[in-house]
């Protein structure tokens, strides 16, 4: 339906292109991203970048066309092939030496969940190494947000989250997908983040790169990667589609009245305004934008709209929207597009709402905030420069201004008490992350399988998917969107980092790699596992 482009950002890129080579670092939501960046640059008279593309796109006949259009292909992994790695890094260095612009997706692949994926550092480290070796005098990394009202790969993403294998790209798939050209997917949004100029950035570090140890360099690459991803999140756009998705999934009943929906939506909208986030242009006509988004949800079959009966008594006349359970994951993708803006408030709301007492101490809120942040560390991109206490106090100050809470002091401690309808207003914020906590609970329960026998990640995930479906059917978990393979994998990462599970080398050999299988097994930290299980159970 249209393309919204950050014109000021484009001017910044054009000015930078006259001074130094630059690297475009966009988020990756769709295969359309490749076409979009080239189209936008072309229309703004900026030299088109060479694109680092996965070798999965090098299929006949498109591989030839992509290569002639500026793509260069790379393997998903360089492990065990030093020559390939050396040649590839030298190729990048020569492109920089020639002053040519580059583009790579720091997430490594398309996000199947709608959130930013934890950054990968391989290509970034090669580019910084080339800069350090003086292949170019300066270098700019430019974070770019690309957002869609709806993505064309929606169905394939849902299949992958449900545990199906990714379909390999091929010519037949391209021909079959041509029918999407007849459908409407709404608007596309392109925003440019603050460029990261390497010369000034590295000069501001405590040590110069040549003085750093290998560990310190890896830490630097990680820091730069996270800052790029954070900046992409910061310049992401709140669309009517994503805001309505948040509201619908913040409600735990099967249906919601139009009035209740608008009440929650206005609460969310006001909070985002305070956060000074970027809104889509369509919000200039707020009411029309929301109604259009709701109509698209209805037309897409995500929700049903039940109109008021004409002969109904006036007090009972209301429009009701009901959510189809099997469509929750579709909507979850769009909720996730903007969920990062709400995360601090979600954590604080969860700490307050899930508390059994009328009041809760400030220290308890901070402690629960830190627990949730650690538990969901692999799900969201957190700003490591922000202090937890500072973030909690910012959220509490907002809730205080909105008359949802009040504070009292008792025995030298500050306690937070919910005022009037505060609990009702806080619950939707807490419910925004409820499905992630349920995913954690499912994986925690599945650890019993590991006690019986060590399992490969693939076999364990299969058992988790089956267990999650059974728990959902029994009513032990309430949100269908918690049955996500991506969520499960992030919980496994957390359990590994917390040293509650570990890997061992099995006896069988993996058919693909030819190496011994890696198996998961519980560690001896059973007391810590039980503490985690009880804490999570109390929250849920």
pLDDT at 305: 92
pLDDT at 152: 87
Would strands 140-148 and 196-197 be described as parallel, antiparallel, or unpaired?
antiparallel
**3-state percent breakdown (helix, strand, coil) of the chain, nearest 5:** 55, 15, 30
Task: Yes or no: say if 166 and 160 are a contact pair by the CB < 8 Å rule.
Answer: yes
pLDDT tens digits for the chain (540 residues)?
A: 889 999 999 999 999 999 999 999 999 999 889 889 999 999 999 999 999 988 888 888 888 988 988 899 998 788 878 999 999 999 999 999 999 999 999 999 899 999 999 999 999 999 999 999 999 999 999 999 999 998 988 888 888 888 887 777 766 666 566 677 777 788 899 999 999 999 999 999 988 888 899 999 999 999 999 999 999 999 999 999 999 999 999 987 888 999 999 999 999 999 999 999 999 999 999 999 999 999 989 998 999 999 876 656 555 568 899 988 889 999 999 999 999 999 999 999 999 998 878 899 999 999 999 999 999 999 999 998 899 999 999 999 999 999 999 999 988 899 999 988 889 999 999 999 999 999 999 999 999 999 999 999 999 999 999 999 999 999 999 999 999 999 999 999 999 999 999 999 987 877 766 678 899 999 999 999 999 999 999 999
pLDDT at 472: 96
pLDDT at 254: 81
Peptide bond between residue 457 and the one before it cis (omega within 30 degrees of 0): no
Structure tokens at 456: 């490969």
Measuring CA to CA, which residue among 390, 344, 347 is closest to residue 372? Answer: 347
- Give DSSP secondary structure letters for 251-294: --SSEEEHHHHHHHHHHHHHHHHHTT-EE-GGGGGHHHHHHHHH
The span from the CA of 34 to the CA of 502, in Å, is: 39
Residue 455, strand partner residues: 520
Residue 2, strand partner residues: 187
Report CA 158 to chain centroid distance, whole Å: 15
Beta strands of 120-209 (E only): which ranges?
Answer: 140-148, 187-192, 196-197
pLDDT at 509: 79
pTM of this prediction exceeds 0.85: yes
* Edge-to-edge strand ranges of the sheet holding 501-509: 455-456, 516-522, 501-509
Structure tokens at 379: 């799900």
The span from the CA of 105 to the CA of 49, in Å, is: 13
pLDDT at 516: 84
Task: Yes or no: say if 456 and 518 are a contact pair by the CB < 8 Å rule.
Answer: yes
Distances (CA, A) of 493 to 300, 377, 441, 499: 35, 9, 14, 10
* Edge-to-edge strand ranges of the sheet holding 413-418: 359-361, 413-418, 405-410
* Buried b or exposed e, range 284-293, using 16+ CB within 10 angstroms: eeeeebbebb
pLDDT at 454: 95
pLDDT at 421: 86
Which DSSP symbol is given to 49?
P
């Amino acid at each position: 339906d249209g393309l919204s482009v950050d014109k000021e950002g484009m001017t910044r890129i054009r000015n930078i292109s006259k001074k130094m080579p630059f690297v475009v670092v966009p988020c990756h939501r769709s295969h359309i991203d490749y076409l979009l960046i080239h189209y936008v640059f072309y229309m703004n008279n900026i030299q088109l970048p060479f694109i680092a593309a996965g070798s999965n796109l090098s299929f006949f006949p498109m591989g030839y066309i992509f290569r002639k259009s500026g793509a260069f292909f790379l393997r998903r992994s360089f492990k065990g092939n030093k020559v390939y790695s050396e040649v590839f890094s030298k190729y990048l260095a020569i492109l920089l030496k020639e002053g040519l612009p580059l583009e790579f997706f720091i997430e490594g692949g398309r996000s199947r969940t709608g959130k930013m994926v934890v950054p990968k550092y391989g290509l970034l480290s090669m580019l910084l190494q080339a800069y350090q070796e003086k292949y170019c005098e300066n270098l700019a990394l430019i974070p770019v947000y690309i957002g869609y009202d709806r993505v064309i790969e929606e169905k394939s993403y849902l299949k992958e989250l449900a545990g199906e294998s990714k379909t390999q790209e091929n010519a037949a798939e391209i021909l079959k997908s041509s029918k999407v050209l007849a459908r409407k997917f709404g608007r596309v949004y392109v925003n440019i983040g603050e460029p990261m100029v390497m010369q000034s950035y590295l000069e501001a570090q405590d040590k110069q790169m040549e003085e750093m140890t290998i560990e310190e360099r890896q830490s630097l690459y990680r820091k730069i990667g996270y800052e790029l991803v954070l900046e992409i999140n910061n310049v992401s756009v709140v669309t009517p589609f994503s805001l309505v998705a948040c509201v619908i999934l913040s409600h735990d009943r099967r249906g919601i009245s139009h009035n209740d929906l608008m009440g929650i939506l206005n609460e969310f909208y006001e909070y985002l305004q305070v956060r000074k986030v970027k809104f889509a242009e369509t919000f200039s006509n707020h009411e029309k934008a929301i109604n259009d988004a709701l109509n698209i949800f209805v037309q897409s079959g995500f929700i049903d709209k039940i109109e008021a009966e004409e002969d109904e008594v006036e007090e009972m006349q209301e429009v009701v929207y009901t959510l189809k359970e099997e469509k929750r994951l579709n909507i979850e993708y769009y909720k996730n597009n903007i969920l990062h803006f709400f995360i601090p408030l979600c954590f604080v709301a969860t700490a307050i709402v899930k508390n059994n007492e009328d009041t809760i101490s400030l220290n308890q809120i901070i402690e629960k905030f830190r627990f949730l942040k650690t538990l969901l560390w692999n799900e969201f991109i957190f700003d490591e420069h922000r202090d937890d206490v500072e973030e909690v106090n910012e959220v509490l100050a907002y809730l205080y201004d909105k008359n949802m809470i009040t504070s009292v002091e008792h025995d030298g401690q500050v306690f937070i008490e919910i005022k009037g309808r505060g609990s009702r207003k806080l619950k939707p914020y807490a419910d925004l992350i409820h499905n992630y906590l349920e995913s954690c609970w499912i994986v925690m329960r599945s650890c019993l399988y590991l006690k019986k026998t060590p399992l490969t990640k693939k076999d364990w995930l299969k058992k988790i998917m089956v267990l999650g479906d059974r728990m959902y059917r029994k009513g032990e978990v309430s949100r269908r969107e918690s049955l996500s393979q991506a969520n499960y994998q992030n919980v496994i990462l957390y359990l590994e980092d917390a040293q509650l599970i570990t890997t061992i080398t099995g006896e069988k050999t993996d058919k693909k790699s030819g190496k011994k299988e890696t198996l998961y097994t519980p560690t001896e930290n059973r007391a810590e596992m039980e503490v985690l299980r009880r804490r999570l159970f109390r929250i849920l």
